[in-house]
Amino acid sequence: MSHTHYLTDAQADAFGRELDAIRDEIKASLGESDAAYIRRMIRIQRGLDIGGRALLFAGVLPPAWLAGTAMLSIAKILENMEVGHNVMHAQWDWMKDPKIHSTTWEWDTACPSDQWKHSHNYMHHTYTNVVGMDRDVGYGILRMSPQQPWRPWNLGQPVYNALLAGLFQYGVALHDVEFERVLEGKKTWRDAWARLKAIGRKTGRQTLKDYVLFPLLAGPFFLYVFSGNLVANFVRNLWAYTIIFCGHFPSGSHTFSAASVENESRGRWYLRQLLGSCNIKGGKVFHILSGNLSHQIEHHLFPDLPSNRYAEIAPRVQALCEQYGLPYNTGSLARQFGTTTWRVLRLSLPGGQSLEPQLA
């Protein structure tokens, strides 16, 4: 189904102007309280990281290992979601702080920041949920839209999905290599190899830090620190996968054909971001731990606005959707994750057209 059926061209243009006005208003109001927020998040994240690693050095005591692993897991989630992801979206570039800037930030995950900014900031946010253009639709291994042709190897999709969830940082890291385009002759092996070498260097540094250097510093408690780091990385991977997939593939989410976005106006781009994104209900701590991607709709409408403003913007966007008769997909984590998992399972089999929203 084409998203052009929801609004006329004139309505889409008006919808876009209303959203532009919200964006301009928020941009004009940014100030010291916003800057204080991201600096506070960075201090908290680094404090949890140091505290968690220190406790793991006493990991022979079970309470210390559990507390250290929990603190390190939260630190990695915050660094990945609320800090790294959002800083590299240029949400904080207006501060003109060279230490908190999209051009200088390198995050604590396997994917090099420059590759991520291309595959995510450009490809995903420009072509959100467009089959064949947005590689986040399945990450090259999952069939997540009935518009994608079914192949027998899709029968293994539940297994691939579980592996992707547990190893999510590596799936993200390999995202921009685009192996399928190399095999199709649309991308050179030389280009792919250059990206793989950069990923190898970054992954090597992360592996050395978490699984060699810090465990060695613990001496006889090597295994406690090693296992704590392993669990923390797994928790971070699983959490990031859950939030990101629940932001785009629950029941009611839309996918689009490449033809449907040709000559797309700004208003219709906004409309596609709305229809291809889904929110997750929760409290303040939940929103922070999700990187405020629990407000995925607002993030996709305004990817360069600071994440701490999404909760403020959300009611205005929802009211605008009611005004224009548009769906605003939001639900509990259980609902969004459950329906996303059902999509993964259903699309491992042929068909699945009933998963796409239908107009009455």
- Residue-wise pLDDT tens digits, 71-129: 999 999 999 999 999 999 999 999 999 999 999 999 999 999 999 999 999 999 999 99
Residue 129 CB contacts under 8 Å (≥ 6 apart), including other chains: 136, 137, 145, 248, 253, 254, 255, 256, 272, 275, 276
Map tokens 């995950």 to a residue: 109
Average pLDDT of the residues in 319-347: 97
Average pLDDT of the residues in 308-335: 97
Q: What is the pLDDT of residue 130?
A: 95
Residue 286 CB contacts under 8 Å (≥ 6 apart), including other chains: 280, 294, 333
Q: What is the pLDDT of residue 357?
A: 83
pLDDT at residue 359 tops 70: no
Q: CA–CA separation, 85 vs 113, rounded Å? A: 9
Residue 306 in contact with residue 37, Cβ under 8 Å? yes
pLDDT at residue 2 tops 70: no
Domain ranges of the chain: 3-28+112-355
Q: CA–CA separation, 38 vs 44, rounded Å? A: 10
- Using the 8-state DSSP alphabet, how is residue 331 labeled? E
pTM of this structure = 0.94
Helix axes 32-56, 62-78, angle to 10 degrees: 150
- Residue-wise pLDDT tens digits, 246-293: 999 999 999 999 998 999 999 999 999 999 999 999 999 999 999 999
Tokens of 110: 């396997």
Map tokens 């092996």 to a residue: 189
User: What's the helix, strand, coil split of the chain in %, to 5?
Assistant: 65, 0, 30
Q: CA–CA separation, 306 vs 106, rounded Å? A: 18
Q: CA–CA separation, 276 vs 279, rounded Å? A: 11
Residue 84 in contact with residue 247, Cβ under 8 Å? no
Distances (CA, A) of 337 to 164, 246, 277: 15, 6, 14
Q: CA–CA separation, 246 vs 341, rounded Å? A: 9
Q: Which of 312-316, 338-342, 350-354 has the lowest mean pLDDT?
A: 350-354
Tokens of 226: 């090693």
Nearest to 337 by CA among 278, 250, 238, 274: 250
pLDDT at residue 152 tops 80: yes
Q: What is the pLDDT of residue 121?
A: 92
Q: What's the mean pLDDT when you consider all of the chain?
A: 94
Average pLDDT of the residues in 134-150: 92
Residue 341 CB contacts under 8 Å (≥ 6 apart), including other chains: none
- Residue-wise pLDDT tens digits, 182-238: 777 777 888 888 999 999 999 999 999 999 999 999 999 999 999 999 999 999 999
pLDDT at residue 137 tops 50: yes
Find the helix or strand (DSSP H, E) in which 234 lies: helix 222-246
Q: What is the pLDDT of residue 62?
A: 92
pLDDT at residue 1 tops 50: no
Q: CA–CA separation, 210 vs 316, rounded Å? A: 43
Nearest to 298 by CA among 287, 288, 289, 309: 309
Q: What is the pLDDT of residue 189?
A: 82
Q: CA–CA separation, 278 vs 294, rounded Å? A: 8
Q: What is the pLDDT of residue 64?
A: 96
Map tokens 């929801």 to a residue: 6
The share of the chain scoring above pLDDT 90, in percent, equals: 87
pLDDT band at 3 (very low <50, low <70, confident <90, very high): low
Residue 21: exposed, middle, or buried by beta-carbon count in 10 A (0-12, 13-18, 19+)? exposed
